[in-house]
Chains A and B, each alone.
Chain A
Amino acid sequence: MSFHPNDVARRSRAAAWMSAGLIVFLVGAFFRTQILRNQQWVLQSEENRLREVPIAAPRGMIFDRKGKIIAENVVGYTVSVLAQSEDSLRSTLKRLSGTIQLTPPQQEQAVRRYRRAPTRPTAILNDASFDVVSVLEEHRVDFPSLIIMSAPKRFYPDGPAVLPFVGFVNEINETELSQPQFSGYKAGQIIGKQGLEKEYESVLHGREGSRFVEVDARGRIVREQGAQEKKPAQAGSLQTNIDLDLQLYMANVFADSLVGGAVAMDPNNGEVLALYSNPSYDPNKFIGGVSVAYYDSLRNNPKRPLYNKALQGLYPPGSTWKLATAVMGLEEGVATMDTHMPQACNGYYYFGNRAWHCWEKGGHGSLDLTGAIAKSCDVYFYQLGLKLGLSRLVAGGVQLGFAGKAGIDLPEEMKPRFPDKLQYFDEKYGPRNWSGGSMAMNISIGQGDNSQSILNMARFYTALATDGTAAKPEIVRRRPERTKLMTLTPKQLDDLRQAMAGVTQAGGTAASAALSGGVTLAGKTGTAQVYALTASKQCDHAWFVGFAPVEKPRIVVAVMLECGGHGYLAARVASAIIGKYLGVPTMLNIQTEG
């Protein structure tokens, strides 16, 4: 080799510069990674090791008008898993099912939850019992990716009694997640599914908190609370107009035997005092996921508990609608309270080569409007309806609010079925001359193409109970909203109320439902003959809509009993409810005699 000192020194310099150059280059590379791009890598390192565990916020409380609790939160436990992949989740579930009871549907649901939100802990049991939690805590070491948390759990102390208006909460589903109003929501969160819980979701939904757990490369939890915890914030509470005592009483009146619904309102401001549908079910069983067995028992129940009869149920209003015909007659000047119809009632009325029967086969004789209301005489109202004509009946019905929703702050309310214009009949049955025909007669006694919700009937009677102004029904306390429905003089309205008072007096259709203590109950019975789905047979729905005290009504109650027979049975139920509210006992035991 060339070993002359000068050559060696030159090569030595070259080697030294090369070593120094490469090391300095590496220092520069480390400077870039560690100093200049530090933030990016710190973030990734934190993402590696920290998993956000959401802490559910307690939902807002729901109170009745006196501050009694309708919906609250109690301590519950959730069990979830931080899964790395679907496979690891499945294997954890399989191992878990050896320790606690975990049905295949529960496992499948957990996998679906994981697919929806793989970065969040996957809930396995949303409402674990204390026993399950203790067993899991014992086996903690075997399941390093398990998160057991206490979480606020929705509880309705009066369960079934309040369900018809309060609804219930449950986990948000895929469809809901894609809807714009749930844009800020994440899979696994709890939302209102029905009733007030759904209607006031934005008020009741708290702000979710979060904490962090530290995990290793395989997703096993190494320690809790890797970083600062963010506390969840409880939402505002909801002050309702519901009178919980009355609500419980209402539920109790229905008991097990009666199928139907009832609504109680303050006619002066539209406050809904009670709203119930029977049979009801326990919303607490829906929290954290309803069991298949319970849900099936509800779905297969012929009395259809899942169907809200006060809001969703549409029933022919029957004779309770005769007041609408009466109002129109008074408004048009076709009749006064003293008007007798050309033909007295002898049990039927001939029209179009056919006898139209009155419910009273023996006939009522000649009645004025007051008497016709008290006795619910069909023959009288056939003739009044013919005088008004179909066109006026339809327009008047729309004016009185029978074609639209009552507007209660609950999502379940169904729009009534009522012809909004005369062409409706042409479109439905083919064009012909409808005016003054049999359709007018049917409509005038609350039959024909007319189905109303119990709530909407109650709303109509708030106008009769006051100055002709209907109050918009409100569950949550707010400024009353009232709409003028009819242009009757106070005297005319008073006369109508007196006529309705006759219903519960001797000779009236609901004489047996009168109140004691000098308080007069006014109202109207209805008996609508239908083919009832719940009974799968022809039967009579029993209606009663009324108010008391007749001089200055404080409460309007609408009751409808599916296949309840004659309207006076519904009147007894209403009477009991009103009596409870006004503090006066009813005359009779409300339990029907057969």
Chain B
Amino acid sequence: MARQKVNVDWPLVTAALILSLYGIAIVYSAGQTDIPIAGYIRNAWKQQLIWFLLGLGGAYAMSRASIRMLEWMAIPMYAFTTLLLVLLPFIGKGAGTAASVKSWLVIGGVRLGQPSELAKLTVVLMLGKILASSKDPPKSFVDLWKPALVVGVPWLLIMAQPDLGTGIVFVGIFFAMLFWSGISWRLLLLLASPVVSLILTVSTKLWGAWFLLLLALVIWYKPYLWEGVFLVAANVVMGVLAPILWERLEPYQQNRLRVFLDPSVDPRRSGYHVIQSQVAIGSGGWFGKGYTQGTQKRLAFLPEQHTDFIFSVLGEELGFLGVVVALMLFLTLFLRIIKISERANDSFSSLVAFGLLASWFVHVIVNVSMTLNLMPITGIPLPFFSYGGSFMLASWLAVGILVRVAHEGRGGKHGPFAI
């Protein structure tokens, strides 16, 4: 293959670059405390910088690979990651605060990374391939069996680790890519209904109202009879299953949900994180306490300041202004990827681009919402910010793929948020 110049989508790459540097700066600050902390946190920014540079190299390599090659690679890569996830319970290791979650691949004592990060990429590729292969979007539940299987297998393996946070990301990818494939929104809604049912079992009244709404939808949408029956049955089963699932949750997961509903139920322990995160962010005000000067972080009131709660450090030290800058950068990135998906040359690359967007989008929304207690603590990292090598590398590999998709796609300026 002759060397050919790749047209780099600079708005995308610039946003990702600024986010990464911004993130490394905050990881540096996370290591600046008044009390002795683990050396690896103090030096995390150096590690992060190395992984960032590795990621840049990876992104360059990815951008050189043609989309067709990625499509061809999708099946073996998917098979490989699935195999890794299957083997993980036997060869995996826990890490840090989540020592019981065997999500790390360790060979010869060296932690290579989390296969679930790789799985996000390969599932996007595989799902893109499946959805792109049929001429029409799925029309009924029967048509959904293949996409559901592609996502369902790694999802179940990851939920079994148990890694609830990453599991949510997979659900997000699944729904987003179905949406992008042109599936009817009513089918999407019906598909989502059991999940909604599950969440709404918190209150019997809410669940009852939802169930009536669902019946109306089923009657209006007129699916196949057995589909309708299955759907209604699934919702009922979810309502019944919820308490049983609740019992099955680990105590720390139950606590996280309880604390989400009311952090003051356990202010010293489970509620502590989310309260201290809000204190950190809230006390930041307009301009923050100054870079590296956050007292909540310096004095160790803020937990996991270099990973899950890195955005709280940003909010405390750089204030509302810093928060808005970061969120706007993310929004820029998202809109640019939507544009790339829209202009992609073929349905596979368009679906892949949109799937990658979905992955980041879920990460950002869930992680940032968690710092303000808008969502329960699920422990999923913030792309480009949270300290973590494999996630940084995976993110930049995704940037590489997106550059390639953009390169092969159509140029031009149209659409809602043209940049």
- Contact pick for B299, options A20, A23, A27, A217, CB 8 Å: A217
- Which A residues between 336 and 364 are near B, CB-CB below 8 angstroms? none
Q: How far is the CA of A34 from the CA of B320 in the complex (A)?
A: 6
A424 within 8 A of B: no
By secondary structure, the B interface counts as helix
A225: min CB distance to chain B, Å: 14
A38 within 8 A of B: yes
B189 within 8 A of A: no
A429 within 8 A of B: no
A219: min CB distance to chain B, Å: 10
A48 proximity list for chain B (CB < 8 A): 276, 279, 295-296, 299, 301
- Contact pick for B286, options A29, A35, A223, CB 8 Å: A35
A26 within 8 A of B: yes
Q: Is the beta-carbon distance between A1 and B137 smaller than 8 angstroms?
A: yes
Q: How far is the CA of A35 from the CA of B164 in the complex (A)?
A: 32
Given contacts A26-B369, A49-B295, contact A1 B181 (CB under 8 A): yes
Q: Is the beta-carbon distance between A42 and B338 smaller than 8 angstroms?
A: no
Q: Is the beta-carbon distance between A20 and B335 smaller than 8 angstroms?
A: yes
**Chain B positions 296 through 333: 1 when the CB is less than 8 Å from some CB of chain A, otherwise 0:** 10111100000000000001000110011001101100
Q: How far is the CA of A42 from the CA of B335 in the complex (A)?
A: 35
A74: min CB distance to chain B, Å: 36
Number of interface residues of A (CB under 8 A): 41
- Contact pick for A12, options B134, B328, B341, CB 8 Å: B341
Closest to B136 in A: A2
Q: Is the beta-carbon distance between B286 and A34 smaller than 8 angstroms?
A: yes
- Which B residues between 205 and 243 are near A, CB-CB below 8 angstroms? none
**Chain A positions 1 through 12: 1 when the CB is less than 8 Å from some CB of chain B, otherwise 0:** 111000111011
B342 proximity list for chain A (CB < 8 A): 8-9, 12
- Which A residues between 1 and 58 are near B, CB-CB below 8 angstroms? 1-3, 7-9, 11-13, 15-17, 19-20, 22-23, 26-27, 29-31, 33-35, 37-38, 40-42, 44-45, 48-49
**Chain B positions 378 through 418: 1 when the CB is less than 8 Å from some CB of chain A, otherwise 0:** 00000000000000000000000000000000000011110
Q: How far is the CA of A15 from the CA of B319 in the complex (A)?
A: 29
A214 within 8 A of B: yes
Closest to B285 in A: A38
Q: Is the beta-carbon distance between A33 and B182 smaller than 8 angstroms?
A: no
B34 proximity list for chain A (CB < 8 A): 214, 216, 222-223
Q: How far is the CA of A348 from the CA of B20 in the complex (A)?
A: 116
A220 within 8 A of B: yes
A550 within 8 A of B: no
- Contact pick for A42, options B285, B331, B341, CB 8 Å: B285
A218 within 8 A of B: yes
Q: How far is the CA of A30 from the CA of B361 in the complex (A)?
A: 18
- Contact pick for B320, options A17, A22, A31, A215, CB 8 Å: A31
Q: How far is the CA of A370 from the CA of B355 in the complex (A)?
A: 123
B47 within 8 A of A: no
Q: Is the beta-carbon distance between A9 and B334 smaller than 8 angstroms?
A: no
Please count the residue pairs between chain A and chain B whose beta carbons lie under 8 angstroms apart in the complex. 151
By secondary structure, the A interface counts as helix
Q: Is the beta-carbon distance between A33 and B372 smaller than 8 angstroms?
A: yes
Closest to B327 in A: A23
Given contacts A1-B351, A34-B282, A34-B285, contact A19 B338 (CB under 8 A): yes
Q: Is the beta-carbon distance between A19 and B331 smaller than 8 angstroms?
A: yes
Closest to B286 in A: A35
B351 proximity list for chain A (CB < 8 A): 1
Q: Is the beta-carbon distance between B283 and A41 smaller than 8 angstroms?
A: yes
B14: min CB distance to chain A, Å: 18
Q: How far is the CA of A454 from the CA of B250 in the complex (A)?
A: 78
Q: Is the beta-carbon distance between A214 and B299 smaller than 8 angstroms?
A: yes
A143: min CB distance to chain B, Å: 15
B111: min CB distance to chain A, Å: 28
Q: How far is the CA of A16 from the CA of B298 in the complex (A)?
A: 38
Q: How far is the CA of A1 from the CA of B324 in the complex (A)?
A: 36
B131 within 8 A of A: yes
B339 within 8 A of A: yes
A27 proximity list for chain B (CB < 8 A): 323-324, 327
B300 proximity list for chain A (CB < 8 A): 216-218
Q: How far is the CA of A34 from the CA of B324 in the complex (A)?
A: 11
- Contact pick for A35, options B278, B285, B335, CB 8 Å: B285
A22: min CB distance to chain B, Å: 6
Q: Is the beta-carbon distance between B282 and A29 smaller than 8 angstroms?
A: no
Closest to A37 in B: B282
B79 within 8 A of A: no
- Contact pick for B417, options A9, A20, A45, A223, CB 8 Å: A20
Closest to A22 in B: B365
B132 within 8 A of A: yes
Q: Is the beta-carbon distance between B285 and A216 smaller than 8 angstroms?
A: no
Closest to A29 in B: B372
Given contacts A11-B179, A13-B416, A45-B279, contact A1 B132 (CB under 8 A): yes
A2 proximity list for chain B (CB < 8 A): 136-137, 181-182
A12 proximity list for chain B (CB < 8 A): 338-339, 341-342, 415-416
Q: How far is the CA of A223 from the CA of B298 in the complex (A)?
A: 12
B163: min CB distance to chain A, Å: 23
Best-buried of B136, B282, B315 by chain A (most CB within 10 Å): B282
State the 3 A-B residue pairs at the shortest beta-carbon distance, nearest first.
A41-B282, A2-B182, A45-B283
Can you list 24 A-B contacts with CB-CB less than 8 angstroms, sorted by A residue number? A1-B137, A1-B180, A1-B351, A8-B342, A12-B339, A15-B341, A16-B338, A19-B331, A19-B338, A23-B327, A23-B331, A30-B323, A30-B324, A34-B319, A34-B320, A35-B320, A41-B281, A44-B279, A45-B296, A48-B276, A48-B301, A214-B299, A216-B299, A220-B35
- Other than A12-B338, A48-B296, A218-B300, give 11 A-B pairs with Cβ distance below 8 A: A1-B347, A16-B415, A29-B369, A30-B315, A30-B323, A33-B282, A34-B315, A34-B323, A35-B320, A38-B285, A217-B299
- Interface positions of A (Cβ within 8 A of B): 1-3, 7-9, 11-13, 15-17, 19-20, 22-23, 26-27, 29-31, 33-35, 37-38, 40-42, 44-45, 48-49, 214-218, 220, 222-223
